[in-house]
Structure formats: C-alpha cells, structure tokens
Structure 1
Amino acid sequence: MTLESLLPLILFALVSTITPGGATTLATASGAHFGFRRSIPVMAGFALGLGSMAGAAAAGLGSLLLAFPALQIAMKTLGTLYLLWLALRIGRSGQPNSAGGMAKPTSFAAGVWMLWHNPKGWAVTVGAAASFAMLASGPLALAMLLGLTFSLMAAFSLSLWCALGQLLARMLRAQWQWRALNLVLALLLVVSIISLWSD
C-alpha cells in the first residue's frame, strides 16, 4: 500500500473533519475559553470517537445502526438535546475567568459520546467503508485503516479550529466582545443541528 493509493482516503477524511460542524464549533469555543492544552481532552474524544466509528462502520456495525430508523431518530434526539445544552452553556457564558465564564472544558468522554450519537457521522464513515474497501485485505484491516485515518485527520482539523479559538481569545478584550463571540458560536452549534436532521 502506497501513499498515493491512500491519498484519496486521507483527503476524504480531511474534508469530512475540517468542514464546520458541531465538533469544530466546540473545538473553537474550547480554544477561546480554555486554551489549547486544556482543550486536548475533548479534541481527543472527538478524534477517538470518529476513529472508532469509522472502524465500527468498516466492521459492519454502522450499516446495522443505519438500518433501523427508530434507532436513528433516538440518536438524533439525544444528539440534538446535548448540542442544545452545549449551545446554551456557551451562549450564556461570558469572558473566561470571570463570574459568567464557563467553569470547565468539555470532557473526553463527552466528546466520544457526542460523536457516537451523530447519525451523519455514521453515514460518512459507512460511505468511507464502502468507497475504500479495496484498500484493505479484509474488514479488520479496513477497520484499522479507517479508524487511524479518521482519528488523525480529526485531530489535525480540530487542532486548527482550537488554535483559531485561542487566537480569537487573544484579540478580544471587552466583555461585550466575548458575549458576541459566545452568541455566534452558540448559534453555529444550533445551526449544526439542522444538518443532523437533514437526509
């Protein structure tokens, strides 16, 4: 297996993970409020969550989950409620280290949980498993390849978004600027819910 043969998969995973959505918005918000180092756990949770989803999709679990519409609705509902709670938390917060600031960053487990309750993520990883099956000798090898690729690309993409959040934090001084940023990030998180429910 050569780098040239892997390039389409790498590009697919990169585009899938770097485009704006719930995880990228949360990485940006976490970077702005807590800095890069304290955001590593949630970014690792997102990356491992997506990588494990890709591995599970390659092993056949993704297709099984997507075959049950009631399960998809339950996953979407749980994911929506969690994203709304996070949006409310971000939107109501103020400047970091102030009385109205967010108390602590989102945890590693919450990052994994959020990814695993996203049917869009399952659809993307199931599509990747079908599209790139010829790169591996069997389901186990494909699960390892997709899991590693999606984890690495997600870690890279989320690191960029988190760094952007940290850069924004250095530019903001006044309380109203933080309020505006937090409201924009909260609205982007709410908008990401629309894609969760679109077919």
Structure 2
Amino acid sequence: MDAFLSLLVFALVATGSPGGATAMATISGVNFGFRRSLPLMSGIAAGLASMAALAGLGLGGLLSAHPSLALGMKVLGSAYLLWLAWQTAHRGAPHLSASARPNGFLAGIWMLWHNPKGWAMTTGAAATFVALASSPTHLGVLLGAVFGVLSLLSLSLWCVAGLVLTRIIRSDHQWRRLNTSLGLLLALSVVPVWL
C-alpha cells in the first residue's frame, strides 16, 4: 500500500506541476471555458495514460535504445509548443466568434506523444514502480489508469484557474499582458526538455 501511495503522490506532482499541458489547459479555459476545453483536456489525459501504459509495457526502452527517434520527437514536440506559445502570446481579450474552435482531443494526444518530458516521466515511473504489478501488462494498466485519472483532475484545476482569470481581468491591456505571460510560460516549458 505504501508503494501505491508513493505512485499516487508521484503522479499527482508530475501531472499537476506547471508545464506545456497545464499551460494549454489554462489557456483553453481562458479562451473557451471549461466545457469547450474538455476535448483538449481529455486528449492530453488519454495521451499521458497511453504513454504510461506503453512505458509499463516496455516501449520506453525502445526510445532509450534509439536516440534519433527520441531526438525527432523532441524537435517536433518543441516546435509545436513554441508555435502554440506564439499564438497565445499574440492574442488579445477572448472576443471569440461562434465559429472559433479550441484545440481538440487529437491535438492533446499529439502534444503529449511528442513530449520527451512525458516519456521520461512515465518511463521513470515504470522503472520505479515495477514491483507494484505481477506483469508488464498489469503495470501498464495500473500506470495508465493512475496517470490518466490524475492528469484529467489536474488539467481540470488548471482550466478552472483560467476561468477565474476571465472573471478578474477586464481591460484589453490586462488580457494582452496575461496572454503574453501565458505564451512565455508555455515557451519556457520547452527548456527542461532540452536540459
């Protein structure tokens, strides 16, 4: 039971700490509200859950064995996050038309699957908590469930934080400052990937 509680604490800290996914949930909450952000948050959670499950099954070893594959994922993931950061930093107040659409389920999965930090986190969890399961399949299911559920919980909290910001911020100048700050934070989330 102590090892399972350690896994829960590890996953809660890993999924709740600021980074690209949490910044995307906050930005989506600011611009689209909670309900319209659910597909993105569900995609991010599903992406992390699938990564954790695959790490438990042993795919993390493949990425370690083929550094060029890991480097390609790092480059693509970083470019995508920097593009999102640029888009965010140049937004004003959320005066969205009815046709404006938030990032969806597949965008959330895509962002996570190209995130080397996510792979490092889930493969680290698989190596650390391998004794919790009797087989790689059981470990994959356990890690996938824990990371998926806790990710959705933490992303929901970050999205609600974005909703709170929409109630506090009133002027266009404040919106530009907020969006610039969120864009900068999203861009800075790329730095640990390369360290």
- What is the TM-score normalised by the length of structure 1? 0.94
Moved over 4 A (4+): none
Structure 2 match to 1:117: 114
Other structure's SS at 2:170 match: coil
Task: Tell whether 2:117 aligns with 1:127.
Answer: no
Unpaired runs of at least 5, structure 2:
none
Cα–Cα, structure 1 residues 94 and 140, in superposed 2: closer, same or farther, change >3 Å? same
Say which of 1, 18, 21 aligns to 1:20: 18
2:189 pairs, out of 188, 192, 195, with 192
2:136 is matched with which residue? 139
Alpha-carbon distance in 1 for matches of 2:96, 2:172: 9
1:37-56 superposed matches below 5 A: 37-56=35-54
Conserved? CA contact 2:3–2:129, under 8 Å: no
Structure 2 counterpart of 1:68, from 43, 58, 66: 66
In structure 2, distance between residues paired with 1:103 and 1:68:
40
| Correspondence for 2:8 | 10
Unmatched segments (≥5 aa) in structure 1: none
Task: Give the TM-score of the pair, scaled to structure 2.
Answer: 0.96
Does the 8 Å CA contact 1:22/1:189 hold for their aligned counterparts?
yes
Please state whether the residue corresponding to 1:78 is helix, strand or coil.
Answer: helix
Q: State the secondary structure of the residue aligned to 2:28.
A: helix
- Identical counterparts, % of pairs: 54
- The residue that corresponds to 1:79 in the other structure is 77
**Pairs within 5 Å for 1:96-111:** 96-97=94-95, 103-111=100-108
* 1:49–1:115 Cα contact (<8 Å) kept: yes
Aligned residue for 1:110, secondary structure, equals: helix
